[in-house]
Amino acid sequence: MTPASQPGKVPARARRADALRNQQTLLTAAAEVFVASGVDAPIREIAARAGVGMGTIYRHFPTRADLVVAVYRHQVEACAEAGPALLADAGSPFAALRQWADLFVDFLVTKHGLANAMRSDSGGFEALHTYFLDRLVPVCARLLDAAVDAGEISPGTHAYELMRGIGNLCAGGDDPRYEPRRLVGLLLQGLRPSRPS
């Protein structure tokens, strides 16, 4: 009898899958806390949201920068995977674009805090920025193309410039009177074809 087939033994592949799932849960919880409270949020708040002990977080991510980078990559992948899923499930390509932009805003909240968390590693930040562009610009372009093909937005807007515009709107600081999501919604409405008067 092999060790994997012994009663009570969990196969290594299942253990790895469980560990990956647990790590994804932890990263999702950390992203939610970072969006709500910033990247300087207490680790205990993240641990409580994830339902784990603080030691578990430090075991996987010894420094705050390690955790922020992992959340950043996790959110990039979530945004990249959401684009095609939203196109398949949303009522229209424009609705998919709006929902994706909302996810992108959540991501940008974390991204803006990343530079502070990585002050001493500008090369690492640049590599992450390249990764971000390589993964997300094509997804945004696909959403824009689908909305143009459906006649829901005017042609001519490039994915990079739209993402940059959304990013600039999200850089409004911590003023509670400033609501970037509302302005992003107005920006997207501005892509709609003009109606003849």
Other C-beta atoms closer than 10 Å to the C-beta of 180 total: 19
The long-range contacts involving 181-186, CB below 8 angstroms and separated by at least 24 positions, are 181/102, 181/105, 184/101, 184/102, 184/105, 185/98
- Residue 38, φ and ψ in degrees, nearest 5: 90, 165
Please give the CATH architecture assigned to the domain spanning 64-197: Orthogonal Bundle (1.10)
Statement: residue 120 has pLDDT above 70 = no
For the chain, the domains span 10-62, 64-197
pTM, two decimals, is 0.78
Mapped onto helix, strand or coil, the DSSP state of residue 38 is coil
pLDDT of residue 153: 96
Domain spanning 10-62: which superfamily? Homeodomain-like (1.10.10.60)
CA 194 to chain centre: 31
pLDDT of residue 163: 96
Query: What whole-number distance in Å separates Cα of residue 98 and Cα of residue 188?
Result: 7
Statement: residue 151 has pLDDT above 80 = yes
pLDDT of residue 34: 83
Other C-beta atoms closer than 10 Å to the C-beta of 5 total: 8
Q: What are 47-103's pLDDT values in tens digits?
A: 999 998 899 899 889 988 888 889 888 889 999 999 999 999 999 999 999 999 999
pLDDT of residue 136: 96
